[in-house]
Amino acid sequence: MTSMKDTYFHAKLISFEKIRLICFSSLPFDPHRYEFRCEGKKILVSLERLNSVSGISIADFALSSPLKLGHEYTVLIPGFGTIPVDVDDASTFPEFDSLYSCPEEVLGASYSPERTLFSLWAPLASACFLKARFKNEERWRIYPMKRGEKGVYRLSLEGDQDGLIYLYCIRNSGLESEVTDLYAKASLPNGEASVVLDFARLSIPLHRECVKPRLQSQAVIYEGSVRDLTIDPHTDIANKGKFLGLIEKGRRTEAGNPAGFDYLLSLGFTHLQLLPFYDFKTVDERNPSRSYNWGYDPAQYFVPEGSYCSDVEDPSSRIKELKRMVAGFHEEGIGIVMDVVYNHVYGFEDSPFQKTVPNYYFRRRGNGSMANTSGCGDDFASERPMARSLILSCCKHWIEEYGVDGFRFDLMGILDADTLLQIQKMAKGINPSFLLYGEGWNMGGEVACPLGRMENYASLPEYGFFNDFFRETAKFYFSGRESLLQKAQYCFASSSVPFHERARFLSAGQSLNYVECHDNSTYFDFLSEVRPDFTEEEKLDACLAASAFVLLSFGVPFLHSGQEIGASKWGEGNTYNKGDSYNKFPYRLLDERKEMAEKVASFLSFRKEHPEFSLSDPKDIEKALDLREEGPCLVAQVKSEGGKTITVFFNPCQSDYNIGEEWGEYRLCSKLGLKKASRKGIVPGLSATVYIR
């Protein structure tokens, strides 16, 4: 756009065959005076339509042949000068993907000791440059990149470029932007620039072989955060808030109980799901103590978060230390699940995605405004070929380079199902036991293709879904709402067996069973709200009973860190930026409630010792399970492989219940202070009690 006092011009490509010129002026508008140019040379156009009213004129000009991207297009306006033609909407044209997408192309910086090849997909750009700073140099050098087919710009730098710092300079519609590489694997602090690294020298044994192959229904998942699990001052963990802090052995609380790594191992879960540890935006990596965020604000998808490493000025530090953390858990047989956020990015307007290929990577509503299904203002267009290709490349990088063992997809219901299926094929091809699950909420959407919603479970059989029906039923049932007993029975049977309700899933492995996670209120806080009459001990008993229900129900048990000790966030739910005081794992509380953690660990161990609780096929579950009612108690009888019958009683009431003595040998009970059956045939109030016969 150009202006002269009260006169303004703007030229915009509205299809590959048409340019629209808009003029705001009190002067007469003569469309035949304007000259359209490509790289300074005149191109033929014909006036197709002209509308003028009250000083506003809109003229559409037809091109003699379809416009080819990659050139500088301008309009010469006599007496005013030259203005660029805005081609930013070309990425939204129906034929764009067939003309310019190249999902098989290897993009980013491809390193070898002899040379590094830079490949940048920027089909709308008329020019691209590599801005590079070599090792031990302060000044930047600028190199023009050569445009190839499909709008891929390339440049090869000879020699060993390990440690090279770089940015791309991209000219779109006459405007130049400096951006980081969307495919960068390493970075300066706070995403200031991308870095080339020789990953071969950063390779370490990841001990993948130590993680036992298993079905998804055999997994037990524990959710936490690198920072939250290590930051509490009431431990002697040295690397607080860091990758390395999570694998420090021999650390203790103030009372001498295991902390950090040793404590996590004592719980016995099979997989640790960590909140995002790719590079996120709103924590200053040089001063992480000054801010807090869970990390659901993606910045660089291929790069680990710098605030979690010990030396953020060294681009290799975050990479090496994350690998050491993964390897440390692998050695103990624990898999690492990565929380990934491919449904939105932080601030699309200034993101490298928008600056690299304007208007391509984000969905729009029918009226042209940004789709906001995620609530973050910029739904990622996973269904578009190059967006899908980036997601697949990213997932593959985390699996192959860092050895992660699963993905938890944030707001999975926004992602298209085809992309999820391609991730599944790739991930399972590398690791058949790879875990795949996410939030399958139906949040609407701006696309017509099938999405990763829970209602589409039949077309996503290898994916698990957070089961909110289980969550709400269990929360209220163990708060004393006896009327939910039949719904609780259905939940216990994995929601894949049609018991009182229609089957919600194809198999138990699709049901993520939980009562709390990071972005809900803790169950203790929920009970404080809905049962103000409960004593603290009753709330803790209900927390333990609900956790036992999660651990013994058919499906995939999911525990939130702190759930096992009845942790509180003081009534807050979404504490994504509330700071360490709300989010840290409270090790001082662990010292006070060690018995609770031990009881949760005992139920978890019991599940692992009895594989029948991990059955996946609904037909097998129906054969093995008998569900009954004894007063207010849910009674689940499970036939074990050895011919024995395991009977579990869940009592959601405050009072004890007499069940008689014919149920077999007492094994364990969630009730606080109860080491063994206090009275034969009595199920304590607010408890889960197990017998074997």
Could you read off the pLDDT of 205-248 as tens digits, one per residue? 999 999 999 999 999 999 999 999 999 999 999 999 999 999 99
Q: 140 and 43, same structural domain? A: no
Rounded Cα–Cα distance for residues 542 and 66 (Å)? 68
Domain assignment of residue 194, yes or no: yes
Q: What is the mean pLDDT of residues 78-84?
A: 92
Rounded Cα–Cα distance for residues 259 and 590 (Å)? 9
Q: What is the mean pLDDT of residues 555-559?
A: 98
Q: 138 and 74, same structural domain? A: no
Rounded Cα–Cα distance for residues 117 and 122 (Å)? 16
Q: How confident is the model at residue 676 (pLDDT cuts 50, 70, 90)?
A: low
Q: What is the structure's pLDDT at 678?
A: 53
Q: Which of 168, 165, 159, 167 lies closest to 112 in space, CA to CA?
A: 159
Cβ neighbours, 10 Å, residue 600 = 24
Number of domains in the chain: 3
Domain assignment of residue 58, yes or no: yes
- Which of 111-120, 334-343, 457-466, 658-667 bottoms out in mean pLDDT, i.e. has the lowest? 658-667
Domain assignment of residue 359, yes or no: no
Domain that includes residue 685, residue range = 624-692
Domain assignment of residue 19, yes or no: yes
Domain assignment of residue 310, yes or no: no
Name the domain boundary from 180, 202, 224. 202
Q: What is the structure's pLDDT at 679?
A: 62
Q: What is the structure's pLDDT at 28?
A: 83
Distance of alpha carbon 247 from the chain centroid: 23
Q: DSSP string of 233-281?
A: TTB--SSTTSTGGGG-TT-BBTTS-B-HHHHHHHH--SEEEES--EEES
Q: What is the structure's pLDDT at 677?
A: 55
Q: What is the structure's pLDDT at 4?
A: 47
Q: Which residue has the higher pLDDT, 4 or 224?
A: 224
Q: 167 and 105, same structural domain? A: yes
In single-letter form, the type of residue at position 418 comes to D
Here the CATH number for the domain that contains residue 70 is 2.60.40.2320
Q: Which residues, at least 6 apart from 137, have a Cβ–Cβ distance to it below 8 Å?
A: none
Q: What is the structure's pLDDT at 582?
A: 97
Q: 80 and 108, same structural domain? A: no
Cβ burial, residue 201 (10 Å; 0-12/13-18/19+): exposed
| Contact (Cβ atoms closer than 8 angstroms) between residue 229 and residue 311 | no
| CA-to-CA separations, 304 to 301, 409, 538, in angstroms, rounded | 8, 17, 42
What is the residue-averaged pLDDT of the chain? 95
Q: What is the mean pLDDT of residues 582-598?
A: 98
Structure tokens at 241: 């808030």
Scan for tokens 């291929």, then name that residue: 302
- Residue 8 φ/ψ region, left for φ over 0, alpha for ψ in the -120 to 50 degree band, beta for the rest: beta
Q: 101 and 78, same structural domain? A: no
R_g (Cα) of the chain, nearest Å: 29
Q: How confident is the model at residue 317 (pLDDT cuts 50, 70, 90)?
A: very high
Structure tokens at 380: 């990622």
Cβ burial, residue 171 (10 Å; 0-12/13-18/19+): middle
Q: Enter the pTM of the model.
A: 0.97
Q: 195 and 118, same structural domain? A: yes
Cβ burial, residue 502 (10 Å; 0-12/13-18/19+): exposed
- Which of 3-12, 105-114, 221-230, 289-298 bottoms out in mean pLDDT, i.e. has the lowest? 3-12
| Contact (Cβ atoms closer than 8 angstroms) between residue 628 and residue 532 | no
Q: 179 and 124, same structural domain? A: yes
| Contact (Cβ atoms closer than 8 angstroms) between residue 397 and residue 389 | no
Percent share of the chain, pLDDT over 70: 99
| CA-to-CA separations, 166 to 425, 579, 586, 625, in angstroms, rounded | 33, 33, 42, 60
Q: How confident is the model at residue 489 (pLDDT cuts 50, 70, 90)?
A: very high
Cβ burial, residue 285 (10 Å; 0-12/13-18/19+): buried
Q: What angle do CA 63, 68, 70 make, to 5 degrees?
A: 135
Here the CATH number for the domain that contains residue 640 is 2.60.40.1180
Q: Is the pLDDT of residue 31 over 70?
A: yes
Helix, strand, coil percentages in the chain from 3-state DSSP, rounded to 5: 30, 25, 45
Q: Which residues, at least 6 apart from 63, have a Cβ–Cβ distance to it below 8 Å?
A: 16, 17, 18, 19, 43, 44, 45
Q: How confident is the model at residue 348 (pLDDT cuts 50, 70, 90)?
A: confident
Q: 197 and 104, same structural domain? A: yes
Q: Which residues, at least 6 apart from 637, have a Cβ–Cβ distance to it below 8 Å?
A: 625, 626, 627, 628, 645, 646, 647, 648
| Contact (Cβ atoms closer than 8 angstroms) between residue 582 and residue 569 | yes
Cβ neighbours, 10 Å, residue 143 = 15
Rounded Cα–Cα distance for residues 341 and 161 (Å)? 31
Rounded Cα–Cα distance for residues 57 and 32 (Å)? 13
Q: What is the structure's pLDDT at 177?
A: 97
Domain assignment of residue 211, yes or no: no
Q: 663 and 630, same structural domain? A: yes
Q: Which of 40, 37, 46 lies closest to 17 in space, CA to CA?
A: 46
Scan for tokens 């870095």, then name that residue: 195
Q: Which of 153, 180, 176, 186 lies closest to 168 in space, CA to CA?
A: 180
In single-letter form, the type of residue at position 85 comes to V
Q: Is the pLDDT of residue 2 over 50?
A: no
Name the domain boundary from 21, 55, 86. 86
Torsion of CA 255, 259, 262, 268, to 10 degrees: 100
Q: How confident is the model at residue 375 (pLDDT cuts 50, 70, 90)?
A: confident
Q: 665 and 641, same structural domain? A: yes
Q: 65 and 25, same structural domain? A: yes
Work out whether the CA dihedral 517, 520, 522, 527 comes out positive or negative.
negative
Rounded Cα–Cα distance for residues 424 and 143 (Å)? 39
Q: 130 and 149, same structural domain? A: yes
Structure tokens at 466: 């957070």
Domain assignment of residue 612, yes or no: no
Q: Which residues, at least 6 apart from 536, have a Cβ–Cβ distance to it below 8 Å?
A: none
Q: Any idea which residues carry the catalytic annotation?
A: 410, 439
Domain assignment of residue 63, yes or no: yes
Q: Which of 166, 175, 172, 222 lies closest to 194 in space, CA to CA?
A: 166
Rounded Cα–Cα distance for residues 614 and 622 (Å)? 13
Here the CATH number for the domain that contains residue 168 is 2.60.40.10
Name the domain boundary from 151, 170, 202. 202
Q: How confident is the model at residue 675 (pLDDT cuts 50, 70, 90)?
A: low
- Which of 226-240, 258-272, 336-350, 403-417 bottoms out in mean pLDDT, i.e. has the lowest? 336-350
| Contact (Cβ atoms closer than 8 angstroms) between residue 659 and residue 534 | no
Q: What is the structure's pLDDT at 673?
A: 87
